[in-house]
Each structure stands twice: as structure tokens, then as C-alpha cells.
Amino acid sequence: MKAIELNSRTDKKGYLKIKYPLERSEKNVRILILVDEDNNETEEEELWLKAISQNPAFDFLKDESEDIYSLTDGEPFND
């Protein structure tokens, strides 16, 4: 198997553009991308929360009838 290493950058929107001639046309290819892990977990969590908060699949949670519990419900869990 032949490995090809490319150095590139993402644009402002996070898209990756690769300009690399393979000299093969209409062939299946497999691309392996390794991303440096310099992001901290907070940034990843914020990105996930932003994506899920904008997903229309969760719009039903904005309905007040879904608020069936309060802070005084239940008993404390002490493990």
C-alpha cells in the first residue's frame, strides 16, 4: 500500500480542499485524514452543543409541557 502525506489547511468555514493529482481517473480511492489534537474538550463540547441546539429534531424540548420536573423533585443521589 502506498501512503501519501499532504500538508494542508482548512478554510474559515472548516472545509479542506486538496489539490493533488493522482494520475488515475474514475477509480475508487480511500483517504485517511489525521487531525492534530490541539483542540481542547471545551471547544468540542461547545461545537456539539451548538449543533444539537440548532437541530430541529429537538424542537419539542422547547415546549413548556415538556418541563415535568423541578429542582425539588426526587431525592439527592450520593454515590
The total domain count for the chain is: 1
The domain containing residue 52 runs over which residues? 38-64
- The pLDDT tens digits of the residues spanning 17-40 come to 888 788 888 888 787 877 766 666
User: Is residue 51 included in any domain, yes or no?
Assistant: yes
User: Is residue 52 included in any domain, yes or no?
Assistant: yes
- The pLDDT tens digits of the residues spanning 44-71 come to 788 888 888 888 888 888 898 888 888 8
Instruction: Give the DSSP letter string of 30-79.
Output: ---------S-HHHHHHHHHHHHHT-GGGGGGGSGGG----TTSS-----
User: Is residue 13 included in any domain, yes or no?
Assistant: no
User: Is residue 18 included in any domain, yes or no?
Assistant: no
